[in-house]
Amino acid sequence: MSGHRTPPAGLGFWGRVLYAIERKLARIGKHLGKVYGIYHLRSNGVQVGEKVAVYGAVHVNNYGTMTIGDHSSLFGPLYFEVGPGAELHIGSRVAIGQMVNIAAGQSVILEDETLIGPMSQIRDADHAFDNTERVSVATYPGQSAPIVIKRGAWLGANVHVLKGVTIGAGAVIGAGSVVTKDIPDMAVAAGVPAKVIRFRKRPPERGESE
């Protein structure tokens, strides 16, 4: 209800007073939530840039190095895991949607202005499973390889990015894709596994027909 500016019709005097109080409290709560979000990140050793906006809960297990650049927006709930000696770098003006889960066993880099759609999973490590003397696949991380999402790339909702993948600058990844190999700059890729379906077009010059 806190998003409504005018009180709902039919409220009496005290109803309108309570409504105004509730709106004020909601605004204070939202502000405190943002402040707490930044505090929570910093208290987990995250270097947070200027004007980072945190909405909702952000869960962080940071045993390595985690940085967030200026003007980035985090829409919780979010889950970040950074292993010992690993790095997770989130650039400036990055937006990360709800329920995104990023785990860095070695290195995950989201360059500036990347958009990470809700429910996406970016994980740079597998459990080790080659040793057949052990039945259980219990070690973590097993094999890991750095992930880089280059400047301005957009991952749609529910995209999975696997270890060792570089997604090119300005690339677009379709919803529900599993990215197993590098994607070139400005490509539009989709599917399981993700394949390039086309490249983004240059806008027509003035007076030029499309």
Ligand X SMILES: CC(C)(COP(=O)(O)OP(=O)(O)OC[C@H]1O[C@@H](n2cnc3c(N)ncnc32)[C@H](O)[C@@H]1OP(=O)(O)O)[C@@H](O)C(=O)NCCC(=O)NCCS
Q: Which residues bind ligand X (CB under 6 A)?
A: 97, 117, 156-157, 172, 174-177, 188, 190-191, 197
**Catalytic, out of 4, 59, 89, 127:** 127
Distance CA 87, CA 110 (A): 11
Nearer to ligand X, 102 or 172 (CB): 172
What's the DSSP call for residue 8?
A: P
Nearer to ligand X, 45 or 193 (CB): 193
Distance CA 150, CA 201 (A): 18
Q: Least distance from C-beta 163 to ligand X, angstroms? A: 21
Nearer to ligand X, 91 or 156 (CB): 156
Which residue stretches of 153-203 are H helix? none
Q: Least distance from C-beta 176 to ligand X, angstroms? A: 5
Q: Least distance from C-beta 173 to ligand X, angstroms? A: 7
- The residues, any chain, with a CB within 8 Å of residue 127's CB and separated by 6 or more, are 137, 138, 139, 140, 141, 142
Does 127 participate in catalysis according to the annotation?
A: yes
Nearer to ligand X, 117 or 168 (CB): 117
* Beta bridge partner(s), residue 67: 47, 89
Q: Least distance from C-beta 73 to ligand X, angstroms? A: 12
Distance CA 117, CA 129 (A): 30
Which residues have a catalytic role annotated?
127
